[in-house]
């Protein structure tokens, strides 16, 4: 297992117990956290690479949840359906890529 990068931890802390207030969807929570983390392009690259490792298929939901919670998140992975921990992490990855696209313009 790759050590958890500090850049991933810097993002995860934005997923705290109050992160859902004012948002109607999980996607909005994710977009807000990614934006609030204010990671540089280099830092976002580190997070994407780490997410790619987590999404490689090597890890089951329980392992992904454990890694997530040890990374500084104050809430569980925001899904209640079995098999969706990876989907949640994919949403984070997509939000980072969307931010990168907006930053490039």
pLDDT digits (tens, 9 = 90+) for 38-48: 999 999 999 99
**What per-residue confidence (pLDDT) applies to 101?**
80
In a domain, 1, yes or no: no
Domain of residue 54, residue span: 6-104
Q: What is the rounded radius of gyration, in angstroms, for the C-alpha atoms of the chain?
A: 13
CA–CA separation, 57 vs 40, rounded Å?
27
Q: How many domains does the chain have?
A: 1
In a domain, 56, yes or no: yes
pLDDT at 80 over 60: no
**What per-residue confidence (pLDDT) applies to 105?**
56
Kindly state the average pLDDT of the residues 16-24.
79
């Amino acid at each position: 297992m790759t050590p958890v990068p500090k850049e991933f931890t810097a993002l995860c802390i934005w997923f705290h117990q109050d992160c859902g207030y004012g948002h109607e969807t999980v996607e909005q929570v994710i977009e807000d956290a990614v934006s609030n983390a204010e990671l540089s392009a280099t830092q976002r690259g580190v997070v994407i690479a780490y997410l790619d490792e987590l999404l490689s298929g090597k890890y089951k939901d329980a392992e992904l949840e454990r890694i997530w919670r040890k990374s500084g998140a104050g809430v569980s992975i925001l899904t209640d359906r079995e098999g969706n921990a990876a989907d949640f992490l994919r949403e984070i990855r997509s939000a980072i890529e969307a931010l990168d696209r907006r930053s490039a313009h």
